[in-house]
Amino acid sequence: MSFPARSWLAVGIARVKAERNDACVAAYETLVEKSSTSNVHGGPAVVFASADGRRVLTMVGVRGHDGFRHLTAAWDDRHREEQHRVIAEAVSFALYEVAASVGATDIDPDSHDAYVYERVERQVPGVTDLFSLFGASENFRGATVFEGDGATTTVILARFAHAAAYDELRASRAAVRVLGPSGEPGETSFVVRPRKTFA
């Protein structure tokens, strides 16, 4: 599955202890399934687990600001804890709009490619420059860019043949020029594995 251009997404990140990662993934899968039949009217969605087992990343299609408000209410602490009694160390939610995409942007749990999530605390000046940067790597498969509601935050979901290719590219002078300096490792950028998609 993939997210169409100009669609709105609720992006949630739950930080958990590694031994509770699978339970947290299962909890969010249940919450996503319930969102499609509730007043949230959740659309296409995906649940990721980070490679280090410390993050569960969820992307859910919503109907703009109203849908986002319904989702955050439905996924409050009480509702999350009802699912497998998962208590996250920290949870964040934000609303993003799909700005642009290039290449193989489908999210495939059976793929062996590396998916990398990165949040940049700035508006990317031009996706053309970003996609040219990524395209310079022979290991690049595709990417989707999500713009924050306030246009001060950008999220990138990039797909590479292997994670090291993204790390090498991100450390380059060209990447710093386009995206700014890298954030704290494991906080603003991390490798994720799609666990389940919802069309």
Is-contact 160 140, C-beta < 8 A? yes
Q: What pLDDT score does 185 carry?
A: 62
Confidence of residue 186 (pLDDT cuts 50, 70, 90): low
Give the CATH class of 98-190.
alpha beta
In this predicted model, what pLDDT tens digit does every residue of 21-39 receive, in sequence order?
898 898 889 889 888 877 7
pLDDT tier at 79, thresholds 50, 70, 90: low
Locate CATH 3.30.70.100 in the chain. 8-96, 98-190
| 3-7, 127-131, 165-169: segment of lowest average pLDDT | 127-131
Q: What is the pLDDT of residue 83?
A: 57
Q: Is the pTM of this model over 0.85?
A: yes
Cα Rg of the chain (Å, integer):
16
Would you say 8 and 64 are in contact if contact means Cβ atoms under 8 Å apart?
A: yes
Helix axes 21-35, 64-74, angle to 10 degrees: 130
Q: Cα–Cα distances in Å, from 87 out to 26, 28, 51, 90?
A: 13, 12, 20, 9
- Which pLDDT value is given to residue 60? 96
With contact defined as beta carbons under 8 Å apart, do 28 and 197 qualify? no
Mean pLDDT of the chain: 87
User: pLDDT band for position 74 (50/70/90)?
Assistant: confident
Question: Cβ distance 43 to 8 under 8 Å?
Answer: no
Residue 105's pLDDT band (boundaries 50, 70, 90)? very high
Amino acid identity for residue 81 in this structure: E
CA 55 to chain centre: 11
The predicted pLDDT at position 129 comes to 85
Contact (Cβ atoms closer than 8 angstroms) between residue 186 and residue 54: yes
H/E stretch holding 131:
helix 127-135
For residue 84, pLDDT over 60 is answered with no
Domain covering 8-96, topology? Alpha-Beta Plaits (3.30.70)
How would residue 121 be classed by pLDDT, with cut points 50, 70 and 90? confident
Here the tokens at position 135 are 């395209």
Per-residue pLDDT tens digits for 122-154:
777 677 888 898 998 999 999 999 998 776 788
DSSP 88-109: -SEEEEEEEEEEEEEE-----T
Average pLDDT of the segment spanning 181-187: 70
CA distances from 84 to 40, 74, 79, 132 (A): 21, 16, 10, 43
36 vs 127: CA distance, rounded Å: 31
Between the alpha carbon of residue 125 and those of residues 11, 13, 22, 114, 178, the distances in Å are 22, 25, 37, 25, 7
Higher pLDDT, 64 or 88: 64
